[in-house]
């Protein structure tokens, strides 16, 4: 086995999911992507403007994360799940209150007028 | 020694006696893990497991043996403790270290005597049967009840604490009760003669006969009643039954029989570690005599039990060094308190006395020769002075310049001792023996709020009587440590909601971004400040909440103008003002519910809730509802919800005003008003109050002359009756006052604070609110009305606004790139409607990587 196995795949396969105009500033929308529900959060003017995490709330089992409130707690940008108000880090999907809860995250970018997702990270 | 399953040896520990102290000892042992080291056996002479003797008289007022029991029926077996009830211990064979009962013998390694006491019955000629009842056990009470069945009058011999309790019991059995006391006053141990006199007056006022300085010589058959008690002065008193409560004697028969050392006045002699002269035998509670004294209260017995349990398990334990016999009681409904040297027996002591013969109240404060310290006190009629006096007495706190002030009537209730004046040794919680020092230690070890202090120290978790004192100490200690109680809204705003409200109004701020930039930190905000600020902006300016700058502020319910339910779908509540609805509109609701297959339920606010709508269905549903003339009901907002009403004078034969018309007027005026928390209203057409207005934030009840206004009521978790605010108002004045109350609330309340909690925190209380709102003491009235009018004028149905704007409707898409509904939302049918499927069925199929 060579060390190259541990390196991150150099080439991300990007796929268009929606238009930039579908995003709502300082808030979330949800896209259907290869059988999964992905919540996209758009924070124009911030250090990082776009985040993509799973839409399913592990606590309730309902697909609602995209409808949560975006917040900053210290340096962490989070979304508050609408039903039980637990917070998930938008960067890595970790729940701040409960280590056993985690959201999957996707690389996400805007190319021209198109929003693109990479492969799910976890 | 007993072999356990794993071969370890457990010593056998036997407790003789299953009264309150014996039981407390078992509890203390179990709590400390004793069952790992001991095989525990408990013997109780009575058939009933340990019960609360302090509240014995409740046995006659609704309590049964089971509710008086001190533990669950399986408590002993669950912890592997062998409980032998109804099995009297006959003898202790100290040589062979065995107990002897009627069932046989049982060896012991260690033995605890907790046999308690028995009532002393003076030898009186002719006393037997119903003329020789006692008041100690449940069996005794059964006997009293049986004797009372065909009796009219009952006498208690003994005017002490237990005797008065017994008199209360006779009274609750419907008997004419009398108390006969040998001493010249009631409660001779705890009270002085003036205190006894005040208590006598109070008790006689309750219809209980009190006969002092009477020694019963003999009992003979009576003429009017069954028995005649003949007193030594030649007088007599007839009665149908006699209960003796002339003191207790230690139940030390077992100790005597096996040769343990017995005190001169009875009781097994113990040292400060509860040890007897036999190193394997201990004694606790009323059967034990420490330093020549037997302690007939439960608290010293508990202290002995606690100390002994700790010591048997090798833990550090306090020595028993006597007990403070100060007591605070309610006897026959009368407050009685006695602290320390109540009689002023200490040489050089001086007393302050307050006597109120009109109300039979009495207070005495005994101070030392220097006049600096409290030695004792007597209270009859009002125990609100007790706690402070006890702290002074127990902790040697220096008295104020005018000690009499401590017992004189105060305008604002009894004077309280500031938390700062208490020394560290001051007992805060006597149930769990928590000192002020322990509370401070808990704060120092990191307990940052009151709940943490309670959890850590157990203070205020017993009877709860010390909760207010604990809070006072806690807050004082925090301040003393330089901790200012942080009232910042969140990490982004170092202001309270009230302060932010002021900034928004004064500076005319219209957006969250503007406020954050001028007065906050960071660029994003959080789920605390965003909805709070969104709410303030709406209260001030009443812009449509779907405006792009406001959308990101709202919680999901406000964002989508519907209430999210557990499976992520929404419920929809159209406004039905005053609960009045035409058949045609009712049909429309039914048709919409049928079309979208919505679960339908009537709400408590006289409207209809439609459940189970998905995000993309909301505009379709609202399109149909608005076309039929409905408006949004704001069930999702911190805002006006409903104005409930009865049909009033239009239909009801009792109604005196048109409550429906008034409800419609109020609901129309205040609909869309955003406030710190939801607002509920009701209007009743007459004093029968069918609309339950007194449980609402704003309640209106019709009178012959107009309307009575009630404010700040609350149902829900912590119900609070609304308070009468103004009476016989005409329509215009009513509306004006409501305008002012609500706007003042919106300006000054904390976030998510209902009117009830706001009102309770309002310094100056209801009177202050009246001054501001009715008398216009702050000169605010016109401004408050104008602000309300501005909100009213800007009202617009949020759903109508959203439906007219394609940009806003874009938000109501389950997926922005796909037309499908959420495939994970599943329903099942129940009672003819659909409801969410069980959680298990909700879990999506693409689970593998989670």
B621 neighbors B596 (Cβ within 8 angstroms): yes
Pairs from B503-512 (Cβ < 8 Å, separation ≥ 24): B504/B533, B504/B536, B504/B537, B504/B540, B505/B540, B509/B537, B510/B537, B510/B541, B510/B543, B510/B549, B511/B537, B511/B549, B511/B550, B512/B537, B512/B549, B512/B550, B512/B552, B512/B553
DSSP B30: H
pLDDT for position B330: 79
Q: Which burial class, exposed, middle or buried, applies to B485 when counting CB atoms under 10 A from its CB (0-12, 13-18, 19+)? A: exposed
Q: Lowest mean pLDDT: which of B265-279, B426-440, B678-692, B736-750? A: B426-440
Dihedral of CA atoms B807, B811, B814, B817 in degrees, nearest 10, equals 50
- Give the span between the Cα atoms of B793 and B784, in whole angstroms: 14
Q: Tell me whether residue A122 is in a domain.
A: no
* Per-residue pLDDT tens over the stretch B615-659: 999 999 999 999 999 999 999 989 999 999 999 999 999 999 999
Summarised one tens digit per residue, pLDDT across range A77-107 is 999 999 888 899 999 999 988 888 899 999 9
What Rg, from alpha-carbon coordinates, does chain B have?
35
pLDDT by residue (tens digit) across B276-288? 999 999 999 999 9
Q: Average model confidence (pLDDT) for chain B?
A: 88
A29 in contact with B at a CB cutoff of 8 Å?
A: yes
Q: What pLDDT was estimated at residue B412?
A: 45
Instruction: Kindly determine whether residue B527 and residue A122, on different chains, have CB atoms separated by under 8 Å.
Output: no
Q: Is A105 within the bounds of a domain?
A: yes
pLDDT, tens digit, 9 for 90 and up, residues A16-38: 999 999 998 888 999 999 999 99
CA distance B792 to B97: 87
Domain count, chain A: 1
Min Cα–Cα distance to chain B from A2, Å: 26
**Residue-wise DSSP of B510-572:** -SHHHHHHHH-SSSS--TTHHHHHHHHHHHHH---TTSTTTGGGS-HHHHTTSEE-TTS-EEE
Residue B325 — φ and ψ, nearest 5°? Answer: -95, 15
Q: Flag if A64 and B492 touch (Cβ within 8 Å).
A: no
- Angle at the Cα of B552 from the Cα atoms of B547 and B557, rounded to 5 degrees: 90
Question: What is the C-alpha to C-alpha distance for residues B104 and B127, in angstroms, rounded to an integer?
Answer: 36
pLDDT at B485 over 70: no
Whether B308 contacts B318, CB under 8 Å: no
- Pairing status of strand B176-180 against strand B153-157: parallel
Question: Which one is predicted more confidently, A7 or B209?
Answer: B209
Predicted local confidence at residue A1, as pLDDT: 34
Partner-chain contact B522 A72, CB within 8 Å: yes
Query: Which pLDDT belongs to residue B837?
Result: 87
| Banded pLDDT at B762 (limits 50, 70, 90) | confident
> Which H helix or E strand runs over B703?
strand B698-703
Tell whether A3 is covered by a domain. Answer: no
Which of A29, A61, A80 minimises the CB distance to B527?
A80
Q: Which two tokens stand for residue B215?
A: 């020694």
Say if the Cβ atoms of B811 and A24 lie within 8 Å.
yes
Tokens 């989670």 identify what position? B850
Report the pLDDT value the prediction gives residue B613, as an integer from 0 to 100: 95
Q: How do B241-244 and B133-134 pair as beta strands?
A: parallel
Q: Taking a C-beta distance cutoff of 8 angstroms, is the pair B71, B77 a contact?
A: no
Q: Which of B137, B87, B116, B135 is nearest to B21 (CA)?
A: B116
In a domain? residue A8: no
Under 8 Å between Cβ of B12 and B41: yes
Nearest to B646 by CA among B611, B608, B688: B688
Residues A62, B814: C-beta atoms closer than 8 Å: no
What was the pLDDT predicted at B789? 93
User: d(Cα B271, Cα B288) in Å, to the nearest integer?
Assistant: 10
Q: What is the pLDDT of residue B545?
A: 65
Mean pLDDT of B497-510: 84
- Binding residue numbers of B for [4Fe-4S] cluster: 646, 652, 686, 690
Q: What is the DSSP string of B663-682?
A: HHHHHHHHTT-B-SS-EEEE
Confidence of residue B588 (pLDDT cuts 50, 70, 90): very high
Question: Residue B494: exposed, middle, or buried by beta-carbon count in 10 A (0-12, 13-18, 19+)?
Answer: middle
pLDDT of B2 > 60? The answer is no
Q: What is the mean predicted confidence (pLDDT) over B24-47? A: 93
Give the residues across from B610 on adjacent strands. Answer: B572, B600
> DSSP 3-state assignment of B640?
strand
Q: What is the mean pLDDT of residues B516-533?
A: 87
Residue B6 pLDDT greater than 70, yes or no = no
B386 falls in which pLDDT band (50, 70, 90)? Answer: confident
**A44 near B CB under 8 A:** no
Residue B7 has pLDDT above 70, yes or no: no
Nearest CA in chain A to B564: A83
- Dihedrals φ, ψ of A94, to 5°? -75, 145
Q: Would you call B503 exposed, middle or buried from its count of C-beta atoms within 10 A (0-12, 13-18, 19+)?
A: middle
Tell me the per-residue pLDDT of B350-378, one tens digit each, with 9 for 90 and over. Answer: 999 999 888 889 999 999 998 889 999 99
For residue B789, give every residue at least 6 positions away whose Cβ sits within 8 Å of its Cβ, in sequence order, or none: B739
Residue B382 clears pLDDT 50, i.e. is over it? yes
Q: What is the mean predicted confidence (pLDDT) over B165-171? A: 90
pLDDT (tens digit per residue) in B794-850: 888 989 988 988 888 888 999 999 999 999 999 999 999 999 987 644 444 333 333
- A69 contact B CB<8A: yes
CA distances from B265 to B113, B246, B262, B290 (A): 18, 16, 8, 11
Provide the pLDDT for residue B416.
Answer: 54
- Measured over the CA atoms of residue B370, residue B374, residue B379 and residue B383, the dihedral's sign is positive
Encode pLDDT of B64-97 as tens digits.
888 888 888 899 999 999 999 999 999 999 999 9
Q: Is the pLDDT of residue B105 over 50?
A: yes
pLDDT at B461: 61
Which two tokens mark B612?
């189970």
Average of per-residue pLDDT across B384-396: 84
The C-alpha angle with vertex B437 and arms to B436 and B443, in degrees rounded to 5, equals: 90
- Mean pLDDT within B205-213: 92
Cross-chain CB nearest to A69 (options B555, B818, B825)? B555
Residues B540 and B501 sit within 8 Å (Cβ to Cβ): yes
**What does the alpha-carbon distance between residue B491 and residue B493 come to, in Å, rounded to a whole number?**
6
Using the Cβ of B824 and the Cβ atoms of chain A, whether some distance falls under 8 Å is answered with yes
Predicted confidence at residue B809, as pLDDT, reads 86
pLDDT at B12 over 90: yes
Question: For residue B432, what are the contacts with CB-CB under 8 A and spacing of at least 6?
Answer: B457, B458, B459, B461, B462
Determine contact, residues B383/B335, Cβ cutoff 8 Å: yes
Tokens 């001169």, located at residue: B264
- CATH number, residue A95: 2.102.10.10
Q: Of A78, A82, A75, whose CA–CA distance to B526 is shortest?
A: A78
Q: What CA–CA distances, in Å, run from B232 to B160, B181, B217?
A: 20, 13, 6
Question: Cβ–Cβ of B815/A30 closer than 8 Å?
Answer: yes
A4 occurs within a structural domain: no
A17 in Cβ contact with A33 (< 8 Å): yes
Are the Cβ atoms of B552 and A27 closer than 8 angstroms? Answer: yes
Beta-bridged to residue B684, according to DSSP, are B701
Q: Spell out the alpha helix ranges (H) of B600-675.
A: 618-627, 659-670
Q: How confident is the model at residue A7 (pLDDT cuts 50, 70, 90)?
A: very low
- Residue in chain B nearest A40 by alpha carbon: B816
Instruction: Let me know the angle formed at the C-alpha of B610 by B606 and B614, rounded to the nearest 5 degrees.
Output: 150
Give the gyration radius of chain A's Cα atoms: 15
Q: Residue A55: count other Cβ atoms within 10 Å of its Cβ.
A: 31
Which of the 8 DSSP states describes residue B449? S
Tokens of B531: 């909805």
Q: Quick one: pLDDT band at residue B484, thresholds 50, 70, 90?
A: low
User: In chain B, pLDDT over 90 holds for what percent of residues?
Assistant: 55
Identify the domain containing residue A89 by its residue range. 13-117
Tell me if residue B435 falls in helix, strand or coil.
strand
Of B159, B150, B196, B154, nearest to B171 (Cα)?
B154
Tell me the CB-side half-sphere exposure of residue B120, using CA atoms within 13 A: 12
* Ordered domains of chain B (ranges, CATH): 2-118+250-312 (3.50.50.60), 121-246 (3.50.50.60), 544-632+797-850 (3.30.70), 638-796 (3.30.413.10)
* B338 contacts B191 by C-beta, under 8 angstroms: yes
Instruction: Identify the pLDDT of residue B61.
Output: 78
Q: Which two tokens stand for residue B619?
A: 């505009």
Coil, strand or helix at B193? helix
What pLDDT sits at residue B555? 74
Would A7 be classed as within a structural domain? no
Tokens of B133: 């009842």
**C-beta atoms of B816 and A31 within 8 A:** yes
- Which residue in chain B is spatially nearest to A43 when comparing CA positions? B524
A86 is a domain residue: yes
Taking CB atoms and an 8 Å limit, are B843 and A61 in contact across chains?
A: yes
Residues in chain B with CB shorter than 8 Å from the CB of A67 are 556, 559-560, 564, 568, 615
Residues 6+ apart with CB under 8 A from B193: B184, B185
**Residue B557: its pLDDT value, please?**
84
pLDDT at B396 over 90: no
Averaged pLDDT for residues B12-19: 96
Phi-psi map region of B318: left, alpha, beta (phi>0 left; psi -120 to 50 alpha) = beta
A vs B: CB pairs below 8 A: 114
pLDDT at B195: 93
Q: How far is B614 from chain A (nearest CA, A)?
A: 11
Q: Which of B802, B814, B816, B838 to substitute to test the interface with A, most A CBs within 10 Å?
A: B816
As a whole number of angstroms, the distance between CA B746 and CA B160 comes to: 57
**List of chain A residues whose C-beta atoms are within 8 Å of the C-beta of residue B522:** 72
| CB neighbours of residue B467 within 10 Å | 16
Q: Judge whether A1 lies within some domain.
A: no
Q: What DSSP character marks residue B46? A: S
Helices (H) and strands (E) in chain B, counts: 26, 39
Q: Give me the helices (H) in B382-466, please.
A: 386-395, 436-444, 450-457
Mean pLDDT of the B61-65 span: 78
With CA atoms as reference, report the closest residue to B115 among B260, B230, B226: B260
Binding residues of B for siroheme: 690
Strand partners, B333: none
In Å, what is the CA distance from B299 to each residue of B25, B469, B625? 12, 20, 67
CA B296 to chain centre: 29
Least confident of B272-286, B400-414, B582-596: B400-414
As given in the structure block, the two tokens for residue B673 are 């008003």
Most confident region among B531-545, B574-588, B798-812 by mean pLDDT? B574-588
* Residue A63 contacts B where some CB pair is shorter than 8 Å: yes
The per-residue pLDDT for range B655-684, each reduced to its tens digit, is 999 999 999 999 999 998 999 999 999 999
């Amino acid at each position: 086995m060579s060390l190259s196995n541990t390196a991150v795949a150099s080439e991300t396969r990007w796929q268009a999911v929606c238009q930039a105009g579908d995003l709502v500033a300082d808030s979330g929308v949800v896209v259907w992507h290869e059988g999964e529900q992905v919540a996209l959060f758009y924070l124009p003017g911030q250090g990082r403007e776009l985040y993509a995490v799973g839409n399913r709330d592990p606590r309730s089992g309902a697909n609602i994360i995209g409808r949560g409130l975006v917040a900053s707690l210290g340096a962490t940008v989070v979304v508050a799940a609408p039903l039980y108000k637990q917070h998930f880090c938008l960067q890595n999907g970790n729940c701040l209150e409960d280590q056993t809860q985690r959201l999957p995250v996707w690389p996400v970018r805007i190319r021209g007028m198109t929003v693109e997702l990479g492969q799910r990270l976890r | 020694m007993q072999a356990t399953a794993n071969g370890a040896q457990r010593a056998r520990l036997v407790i003789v006696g299953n009264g309150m102290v014996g039981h407390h000892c078992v509890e203390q042992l179990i709590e400390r893990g004793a069952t790992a080291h001991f095989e525990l056996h408990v013997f109780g002479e009575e058939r009933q497991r340990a019960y609360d003797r302090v509240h014995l008289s409740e046995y006659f007022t609704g309590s049964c043996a089971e509710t008086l029991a001190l533990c669950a029926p399986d408590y002993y077996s669950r912890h592997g403790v062998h409980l032998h009830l109804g099995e009297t211990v006959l003898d202790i064979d100290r040589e062979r270290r065995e107990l002897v009962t009627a069932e046989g013998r049982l060896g012991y390694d260690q033995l605890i005597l907790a046999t308690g006491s028995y009532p002393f019955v003076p030898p009186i000629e002719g006393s037997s049967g119903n003329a020789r009842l006692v008041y100690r056990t449940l069996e005794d009470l059964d006997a009293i009840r049986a004797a009372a069945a065909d009796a009219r009058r009952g006498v208690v011999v003994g005017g002490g604490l237990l005797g008065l309790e017994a008199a209360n019991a006779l009274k609750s059995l419907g008997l004419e009760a009398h108390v006969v006391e040998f001493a010249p006053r009631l409660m001779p141990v705890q009270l002085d003669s003036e205190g006894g006199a005040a208590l006598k007056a109070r008790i006689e006022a309750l219809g209980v006969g009190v006969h002092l300085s009477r020694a019963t010589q003999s009992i003979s058959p009576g003429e009017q009643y069954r028995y005649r008690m003949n007193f030594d002065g030649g007088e007599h008193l007839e009665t149908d039954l006699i209960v003796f409560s002339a003191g207790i004697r230690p139940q030390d028969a077992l100790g005597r029989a096996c040769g343990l050392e017995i005190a001169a006045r009875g009781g097994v002699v113990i040292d400060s570690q509860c040890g007897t002269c036999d190193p394997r035998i201990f004694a606790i509670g009323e059967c034990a005599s420490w330093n020549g004294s037997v302690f007939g209260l439960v608290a010293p017995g508990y202290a002995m039990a606690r100390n002994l349990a700790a010591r048997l398990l090798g833990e550090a334990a306090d020595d028993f060094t006597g007990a403070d016999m100060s007591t605070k009681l309610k006897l026959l409904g009368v407050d009685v308190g006695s602290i320390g040297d109540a009689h002023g027996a200490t040489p050089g002591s001086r007393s302050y006395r307050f006597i109120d013969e009109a109300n039979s109240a009495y207070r005495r404060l005994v101070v030392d020769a220097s006049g600096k310290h409290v030695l004792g006190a007597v209270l009859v009629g009002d125990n609100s002075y007790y706690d402070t006096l006890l702290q002074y007495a127990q902790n040697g706190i220096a008295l104020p310049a005018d000690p009499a002030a401590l017992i004189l009537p105060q305008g604002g209730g009894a004077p309280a001792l500031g938390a700062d004046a208490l020394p560290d040794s001051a007992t805060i919680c006597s149930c769990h023996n928590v000192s002020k020092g322990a509370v401070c230690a808990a704060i120092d070890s990191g307990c940052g709020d009151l709940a943490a202090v309670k959890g850590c120290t157990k203070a205020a978790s017993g009877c709860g009587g010390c909760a207010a004192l604990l809070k006072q100490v806690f807050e004082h200690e925090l301040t003393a440590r330089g901790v200012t109680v942080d009232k910042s809204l969140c990490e982004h705003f170092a202001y309270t909601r009230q302060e932010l409200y002021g900034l928004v109004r004064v500076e005319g701020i219209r957006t969250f971004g503007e406020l954050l930039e001028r007065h906050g930190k960071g660029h994003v905000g959080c789920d605390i400040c965003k909805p709070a600020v969104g709410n303030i902006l709406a209260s001030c300016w009443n812009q449509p909440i779907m405006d792009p700058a406001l959308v990101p502020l709202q919680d999901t319910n406000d964002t989508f103008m519907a209430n999210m339910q557990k499976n992520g779908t929404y419920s929809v509540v159209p406004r039905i003002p005053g609960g009045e609805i035409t058949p045609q509109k009712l049909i429309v609701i039914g048709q919409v519910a049928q079309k979208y297959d919505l679960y339908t339920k009537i709400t408590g606010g006289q409207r209809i809730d439609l459940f189970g709508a998905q995000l993309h269905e909301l505009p379709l549903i609202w399109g149909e509802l608005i076309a039929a003339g409905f408006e949004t009901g704001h069930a999702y907002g911190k805002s006006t919800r409903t104005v409930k009403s009865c049909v009033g004078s239009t239909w009801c034969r009792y109604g005196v005003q048109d409550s429906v018309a008034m409800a419609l007027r109020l609901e129309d005026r205040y609909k869309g008003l955003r406030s710190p928390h939801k607002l509920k209203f009701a209007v009743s057409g007459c004093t029968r109050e069918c609309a339950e207005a007194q449980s609402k934030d704003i309640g209106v009840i019709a009178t012959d002359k107009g309307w009575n206004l009630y404010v700040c009521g609350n149902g829900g978790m912590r119900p609070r009756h609304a308070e009468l605010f103004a009476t016989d108002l005409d329509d215009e004045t009513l509306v004006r006052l409501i305008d002012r109350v609500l706007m003042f609330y919106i300006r000054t309340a904390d976030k998510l604070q209902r009117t009830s909690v706001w009102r309770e925190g309002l310094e100056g209380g209801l009177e202050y609110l009246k001054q501001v709102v009715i008398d216009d003491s702050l000169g605010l009235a016109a401004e408050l009305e104008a602000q309300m009018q501005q909100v009213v004028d800007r009202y617009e149905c949020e759903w109508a606004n959203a439906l007219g704007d394609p940009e806003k409707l874009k938000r109501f898409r389950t997926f922005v790139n796909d037309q499908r509904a959420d495939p994970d939302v599943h329903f099942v049918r129940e009672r003819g409607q659909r409801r969410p499927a069980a959680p298990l069925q909700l879990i999506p199929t693409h689970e593998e990587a989670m």
